[in-house]
Structure 1
Amino acid sequence: MQYYYSSKNPDSLGVIRVHAEKCRELPDVLTRIYLGIFPNSSLAISTAKEKLQLTKVRVCNCCVD
């Protein structure tokens, strides 16, 4: 189980990235949103889509299960 966060701001393609807590690309505390504790990134992405009401949500390349 890991803590997951999403960035508040989309990247250049309009995609919000989901990061695990130990990610080297984890956004600064002021520019991220806590999603919760999940056993994998798929559940974190589902939660982010629901919570943020967005469809363009992807896991960070560093955090792929």
Structure 2
Amino acid sequence: MKFFYISSEPNQDNLFEIHDRDCPQIPNAINRDYLGPFNNGSEALRTASRNKTNVTLCGSCCQGETASIIFKDKISH
């Protein structure tokens, strides 16, 4: 398992980036929030998307995984 964090400030695309603990581009401790331990970035992304509507995975530490996710309210039929 890896430990994941989310930036508390959006990037230039107005997305909050998710990083693993060992990422060279992780924000400093003041500018990030702990998400928890996950098997991969996709799991961290799913959890983060419950609290924020515009989240994305870091291109450096989460390569090869889904890049971003933006949710809108679901309409029940």
1:48 Cα deviation from its structure 2 partner: 0.9
Q: Kindly, what percent of the aligned residue pairs are identical?
A: 33
2-structure distance, mates of 1:63, 1:46: 17
The AA in structure 2 aligned to 1:56 is: N
2-structure distance, mates of 1:42, 1:55: 15
| Regions of 4+ moved over 2 Å | none
Deviations 1:9-37 (A, max 9, x none): 00111100000000000100011000000
1:3 Cα deviation from its structure 2 partner: 0.3
Calculate the TM-score normalised by the size of structure 2: 0.77
- Give the RMSD, CA atoms, in angstroms: 1.0
Calculate the TM-score normalised by the size of structure 1: 0.90
2-structure distance, mates of 1:59, 1:13: 13
Asked which structure has the greater CA Rg, the reply is 2
Larger helix proportion of the pair: 1
Matches within 5 A, 1:3-42: 3-42=3-42
2-structure distance, mates of 1:54, 1:44: 12
Gaps of 5+ in 1: none
